[in-house]
Amino acid sequence: MALDRTIAPNIKDAVDFDIQLKPCQKYTLDNGVEVYAFEGGAQEVMLMELVFFAGNSYETKNWVAPATNYLLKNGTHQKTAFEVNDAFEFYGAYLNRSCYNETATISLHSLTKHFQEVIPVVSELVADAVFPENELDIYQKNQIQQLTLNLKKGDFIANRLIDEYLFGINHPYGKYSSEESYNQITKDDLVSFYNKYYKEGKCIIFMAGQFPSNIQSILNKYIGTLPLNKKIIEMPAHPIIAASDKKYSVVNDPSSVQGSIRIARHFPNRHHPDFAPAQVLNNIFGGFFGSRLMSNIREDKGYTYGIHSYLQNHIQQSAWMVSTDAGKDVCKATIEEVYKEMAILRNELVDIDELHLVKNYMLGSLLGDVDGPFQIIGRWKSYILNGLTEEYFYKTIETVRTIQPQQIKDLANKYLKEEDFYELVVY
């Protein structure tokens, strides 16, 4: 029967969908490396991500962890940096590195049919990186040049300073780079960090896409024979040393016509029972384009092009952050409006229709986040690295579906109090 396009399809709210997180397969390589894999997708492509516990939480010298991660790709005893890049590009593969607070990753995107040709190069980088002096020199000069440009930007300064105020300059979440820290990095620093946290470090593998039929034997041959996961690696303790003052105004560029505003407070991590319901409150407050902060400060007042609030995605601790840029003459008024919106949420019940809209937005976004193999393994990766299970996924959905206006008001009275927030404006 032909489709009658004069009749609109029935609209079904996202809150009514049965949202499922598809299970991933887990197995362990001969050296104890755990592999989490989700096979699927229409295209013969795949992702392999090696996650090492080698973020800046483990470094004893500033910026050694990111430098080590970046320069992994820049040469081995057998290949120059050019030859390493050429080995991937010849097969249409792409290798990327990323360094975070607790973890660091090596990510490979490859055609399924060429995976067996490129994984030996990944294995070589993990086992035999050499960190040539000339590559380190280029890295240092490039990073210092980029830092010099970024230090002229108010939003860059604001992001650095607000984290320092919240956690302390020596905490992994609060530290930041400097020209001095780049210049002090030596090849010996990189080799020492690499040997401990990569070559003989703790590794977990996440994979998604269409796999070769003998994927487990391939992984065992090239990754399972490496000396990984043989030692217990404990992350050093990092106490939070927050700033005593809570209000700051910094002049970075006297000629600037706008200010970068950050308003933030400490917040528990995902294991706290308030984390999931607070995400609903955050979206009402400033978490999406239809939020109250956007409606008031962007649409009504016209103080900014955009303003957002969010819960930071950290493993150990977290923070609740409001971020925007506004004209220099309206920065004070913008901050006042942020606090007014907090007060309204503390004192008034959220309208049922507004709450329903936010629930649909959140669950609709979640539907997109579990659509496709790369997205699904990304969700699993987040849960596994944060010590969570699929139960957290379904509990979060249930929280979003069932939360009521009084719960939102109670959370606002607990967490959206002006006196708890650090306040920074960088001009």
What integer pLDDT is reported at residue 179 of this predicted model?
97
For residue 261, which phi and psi values (nearest 5 degrees)?
Answer: -105, 130
For residue 246, which phi and psi values (nearest 5 degrees)?
Answer: -120, -5
- Supply angle C-alpha 62, 73, 37, rounded to 5: 100
**Same structural domain for residues 174 and 275?**
no
Q: Is residue 49 part of a domain?
A: yes
Q: Is residue 233 part of a domain?
A: no
Q: Is residue 14 part of a domain?
A: no
Average pLDDT, the chain: 96
- Provide the pLDDT confidence category of residue 292 given band limits of 50, 70 and 90: very high
Q: Is residue 268 part of a domain?
A: yes
- Provide the pLDDT confidence category of residue 1 given band limits of 50, 70 and 90: low
Rg (C-alpha) for the chain, rounded Å, is 24
**Same structural domain for residues 270 and 128?**
no
Range with the lowest mean pLDDT among 20-24, 235-239, 243-247, 321-325? 235-239
What integer pLDDT is reported at residue 252 of this predicted model?
95
Determine contact, residues 406/231, Cβ cutoff 8 Å. no
**Same structural domain for residues 193 and 303?**
no
Q: Tell me the pLDDT tens digit for each residue of 178-213.
A: 999 999 999 999 999 999 999 999 999 999 999 999
Q: Tell me the pLDDT tens digit for each residue of 161-176.
A: 999 999 999 999 999 9
Q: Tell me the pLDDT tens digit for each residue of 363-405.
A: 999 998 899 999 999 999 999 999 999 999 999 999 999 999 9
Q: Which amino acid is at 338?
A: V
- Provide the pLDDT confidence category of residue 231 given band limits of 50, 70 and 90: confident
Q: Is residue 363 part of a domain?
A: yes
Beta strand pairing call for 45-52 and 104-111: antiparallel
**Same structural domain for residues 212 and 309?**
no
**Same structural domain for residues 290 and 181?**
no
Domain at 195, CATH number: 3.30.830.10
Mean pLDDT (whole number) for 76-103: 97
Range with the lowest mean pLDDT among 12-16, 50-54, 220-224, 392-396? 12-16
CA atoms in the 13 A half-sphere facing the CB of 159: 12
Tokens representing 377?
Answer: 């393994």
- Alpha carbon distance 390, 399 (integer Å): 14
Q: Is residue 337 part of a domain?
A: yes
CA atoms in the 13 A half-sphere facing the CB of 392: 17
Tokens representing 212?
Answer: 């070769």
Burial degree of 98 (CB within 10 A; 0-12, 13-18, 19+): middle
**Same structural domain for residues 101 and 62?**
yes
**Same structural domain for residues 415 and 332?**
yes
Q: Does residue 17 have a pLDDT over 90?
A: no
Last residue of a domain, one of 222, 257, 273: 222
Place of tokens 């008001």: 409
Q: Does residue 24 have a pLDDT over 80?
A: yes
Q: Is residue 114 part of a domain?
A: yes
**Same structural domain for residues 326 and 183?**
no
Domain containing 60 equals 25-222
Determine contact, residues 267/190, Cβ cutoff 8 Å. no
Q: Does residue 12 have a pLDDT over 80?
A: no
Q: Helices marked H in 105-203 — which ranges?
A: 115-128, 133-150, 154-167, 179-184, 187-194
**Same structural domain for residues 389 and 289?**
yes
**Same structural domain for residues 286 and 323?**
yes
Q: Is residue 313 part of a domain?
A: yes
**Same structural domain for residues 163 and 265?**
no
- Alpha carbon distance 293, 278 (integer Å): 16
What integer pLDDT is reported at residue 18 of this predicted model?
84
- The total domain count for the chain is 2
**Coil vs helix vs strand at 340:** helix
Mean pLDDT (whole number) for 248-276: 96
**Same structural domain for residues 197 and 272?**
no
